[in-house]
Structure 1
Amino acid sequence: MRSKGFVARAGSRLELEGKPFRFAGPNVYWLGLDENVDGIAWPTEFRVRDALDTALEMGATVVRSHTLGASQGHPLSIMPEPDRYNEEALRRVDFAIREAAARGLRLIVPLVCNWSYYHGGRSTFASWRGLEDPLSFYADPEIKETFKRYIAMLLTRMNTLTGRAYRDDPTILAWELGNELNDAPAEWVREMAVHIKDLDRNHLVAHGKQFELDRDKLGIEELDILDVHYYPADADALARDAADTAAAGKVYLCGEYGWTEDGLEAFLERAEKDGNVAGTLFWSLFPHADDAGYVPHYDGFSLHYPGTGVSPDYERRCLALRSHAYRMSGRDVPACLVPEAPAISSAAERVAFRGVVGAARYTVEKSTRGAAGPWTAVFDARPADHDMPWQDPTRAHGTRTWYRVRALAPDGAAGAWSEPFESEPFTPRG
């Protein structure tokens, strides 16, 4: 019997405490292990919190994150070598799960990846056995047992921050057998789904592939969710796959889609109106950087909310995704969050401050007569961009200067001013 607080399946629909549960949100694949800042590293606590807070502001109730489970073969991953587990990497997963729970967010966690990315995948398991064919992941008995032991370790892991085993934590909505396991045999899917259900009676089990529904998996009793990824976002394919999944008595999920491509509005509208669609998760969300600006990523689908400094179309799409998430979960779309006050960290050659959640623009003011002002604008409602931190073009050499900054939401609502930051007299290099 499933414990209270867990998302459950009722035929082809999801429920929470007996009520329908539908959702939208982002993929945030790097929450357990990042590749985007100074090479491969664990993400800072700030970046994890900023991403989850941004997801929340965008209306998300669910986040899908590969590296909370699919993390093998790198020295910083959960399993660097067969049957050797990295406690510090697991503590990073503990942290992300706790932070998601604190925000009321649910997590979908893939357990392996089809591709040979920095966080490992099928080929990692094959290489440990000296095998070149990634498909041996599904056939080799020793690989299968290694993967099963990995699953058992993860599901029974006691979160050091919450005191709760992962398998007993309702923050996790579903264990996904893997990301885009396009060639997975039905027998393997059934075997691994049974293994998870034997260990964990609380959580749902998902399986999916790219571009099309994995129809030969629809009859697997132990499988709850079928996940399909769309590049580009295709409203007709979405409706067709959702109908076929529902007809088989399974839950349909769009686990990834390309939000930058044509047809986005039609795709989102179809998902909202189609009760067979349990949820949609766009690819993919990135946070503010630790110092200033945003964490960069260059795959054509990286989203930095609310996108004001990129283009009007980019911002329009960001806000459309936000509205979609609220509507998918049956809520009215609220006004945008009024951003909190940023904190200036330095103002030597450039004015540096961390971005804050929901900020579309920033106004920076200066004073040369003290923290009480008078203040004059250096940047008036300048869009957030990748050029941050910003250089003050009006600053005179040798002048002591105070700065303050405030953030503005996409609708123009202004947050509070930061505490004034006193900078030492500026002397240019050279």
Structure 2
Amino acid sequence: MIKMNQLGAALAMAGLVSGAASAAAPVSAAGKSEFVTVKKTHFARKGKSYYIAGANFWYGGYLGSPSGVGERARLRKELDTMKALGINNVRVLAVSEKTAMTSAVRPATTNGPGKYDEDLLAGLDFLVDELGKRDMTVVLYLNNFWQWSGGMTQYLNWFEGTPAIDPNVTKDYDDYMAKTARFYANKDAQKEFRGTIRKIVGRVNTINGKAYRDDPVIMSWQLANEPRPGNGKASDKEKAVYTKWIAETAQYIHELDKNHLVSSGSEGLAGSAQDAKLFMASHSSKHIDYLTYHLWPKNWGWFDSKKPVESWDGAIAKSRDYLNTHIDMAKTLGKPIVLEEFGLDRDGASFDIKSGTKIRDRFYGEIFELIQRRAANGEPIAGWNFWAWGGAGRAANADYWWKQGNDFMGDPPQEEQGLYSVFDTDASSLALIKDHAAKLRLLQK
């Protein structure tokens, strides 16, 4: 996720908490594939259609760590709460890179080229194992275009010797995007990234002994969080390099793992220089099994949360158009699509957990209803993951900015804690999520 003024253009809740797939995929005793697969323009699992009612939970692996930042009791509680809401999928950061940037998470999975923090990897193991106990699935993204986990700019710091750029400091996101896109063409960075892919995809879970490639809890490997070809002025050459990187990296993952789906992590048009041809071209590869897109009306300047009445109609009209346009593109490509990020802040643009969520709930309701309607019509929209699960996390500082040692929550360190998180005390939001997760389940036949 990116703040959009920067893009420039373009449970306390009663009743909710209870304390293109390979033919080689393993099957259950009933003969039904345990893996999430693609069947034409829909997902399937265990012999039924499968719709995603999900949450972004980027820090899940962190909570699973056996020491340091790990909070395994909290992780179990968060998963129990989400399961009780009907959430069946979480989207999680698999790898972070150590960096000097101030707005990035600490500690990091990768402390330098080839240097991995085994406690954090064991945390990912623990998360995957706990998800399996709850019959939930996970999408694991292997890199990040944005700086909050080190990401591509940190790879360039390692292999170009250029500074890792923190746009929270420079305030220049156009420059950040243009420079970070050099990652795709840097041979040394790509070699190291593929080494990391091998490390994660080839891992054997230290909790349950399962090889990741054989574990149906993993729904998809995702190339990165919001990869993009550069800024809105990306050249044809940059777009071609980006398209090639997506196809070749996805192919590489499939060569390592014949069982799991691969997705790009794209925002859609917002991450494709507003170029529909680029979005279509970069996702037409047979190695990309399904499409993704994200929706950020405040970040993109469509909605002013300090003037919600005045800006609502325009924002929701643009949001509906954005949603429908991408479903139509998925239909053209003949692949499923997931709205895997969307969010809005609390009433009055407050970060305070005590502030209301009426506007956010109204926004969520609009999104859920549109997706439900088009999914019920048999169209290729395969579900949603809201951004993001804050759960039992709480902001620790008066300025709402994260510091090492604070709770992890849905808002990563590049933004104020409480900006888009859904907390375990947000009763109306949780009820809405539960209701619409149940409606999606009714489509699973």
Structure 1 residue 230 displacement after superposition: 0.3
Q: How many angstroms apart in 1 are the aligned matches of 2:147 and 2:73? A: 28
In structure 2, the residue matched to 1:268 is 368
- 1:110 counterpart residue number: 141
Of 331, 336, 339, the residue aligned with 1:254 is 339
Q: Which residue of 2 aligns with 1:30?
A: 59
CA gap 1:316/1:76 in 2 versus in 1, 3 angstroms: closer
Question: Residue 321 of structure 1 is aligned with which of 433, 437, 444?
Answer: 433
Cα separation, partners in 2 of 1:166 and 1:58, compared to 1, 3 Å: same
C-alpha contact (below 8 Å) 1:70/1:120 kept by paired residues: no
Partner of 1:420: none
Aligned to 1:239: 324
Matches within 5 A, 1:132-147: 132=163, 133-147=179-193
Mapped partners of 2:157, 2:261: distance in 1: 30
Runs of 4+ off more than 6 Å: none
- List runs of 5+ in structure 1 lacking aligned partners: 35-39, 308-314, 333-430
The equivalent of 2:35 in structure 1 is: 6
**Aligned ranges for residues 156-305 of structure 1 at < 5 Å?**
156-183=202-229, 185-210=242-267, 212=269, 214-232=279-297, 234-260=319-345, 261=360, 263-275=363-375, 276-288=380-392, 298-305=417-424
- Cα displacement (A) at 1:259: 4.9
RCO higher in structure (CA 8 A, sep ≥6): 2
The one-letter amino acid of 1:9's match is: V
Structure that is richer in helix per residue: 2
1:423 aligned partner: none
In structure 2, the partner of 1:330 is 442
Corresponding pairs, count: 315
* Displacement of 1:250: 1.6
Residue 50, structure 1, aligned to residue 96, structure 2: no
CA RMSD of aligned residues (A): 2.4
Query: Quick check: 2:218–2:260 contact (8 Å CA) kept in 1?
Result: yes
TM-aligned CA deviation for residue 164 of structure 1: 0.6
Answer whether contact 1:31 1:65 (CA < 8 A) is retained: yes
More strand as a share of residues: 1
Counterpart check, 1:128 vs 2:169: no
Q: 1:85 and 1:76 mapped to 2: Cα distance?
A: 11
Q: CA deviation at 1:41?
A: 5.8
Q: Distance in 1 between matches of 2:252 and 2:408?
A: 38
Contact 2:268 2:292 in 1 (8 A): no
C-alpha separation between the residues in 2 aligned to 1:54 and 1:331? 23
Q: Determine the C-alpha separation between the residues in 2 that align with 1:20 and 1:151.
A: 29
SS in 2 for 1:209: coil
The question of whether the paired residues in 2 share the 8 Å contact of 1:186 and 1:217 is answered with yes
Q: Distance in 2 between matches of 1:331 and 1:43?
A: 37
Between the aligned residues of both structures, percent identity stands at: 26
**Partner AA of 2:280 in structure 1:** R
Matched residue, 1:83: 114
User: 3-state SS of the aligned residue for 1:318?
Assistant: helix
CA distance in 2, matches of 1:106, 1:11: 20
Instruction: Quote how far apart the aligned CAs of 1:330 are.
Output: 1.7
SS of the residue 1:135 aligns to = helix
CA contact (8 A) 2:280 2:333 kept: no
The gaps in structure 2 that reach 5 residues or longer are 1-23, 28-33, 100-105, 164-178, 230-238, 270-275, 298-315, 346-359, 397-406, 412-416
Q: Which residue of 2 aligns with 1:378?
A: none
CA distance in 2, matches of 1:210, 1:227: 7
Contact 1:112 1:178 in 2 (8 A): yes
Rounded to whole Å, the distance in 1 between the matches of 2:341 and 2:393 is: 24
Amino acid of the structure 2 residue aligned with 1:56: K
Q: What letter matches 2:342 in structure 1?
A: Y
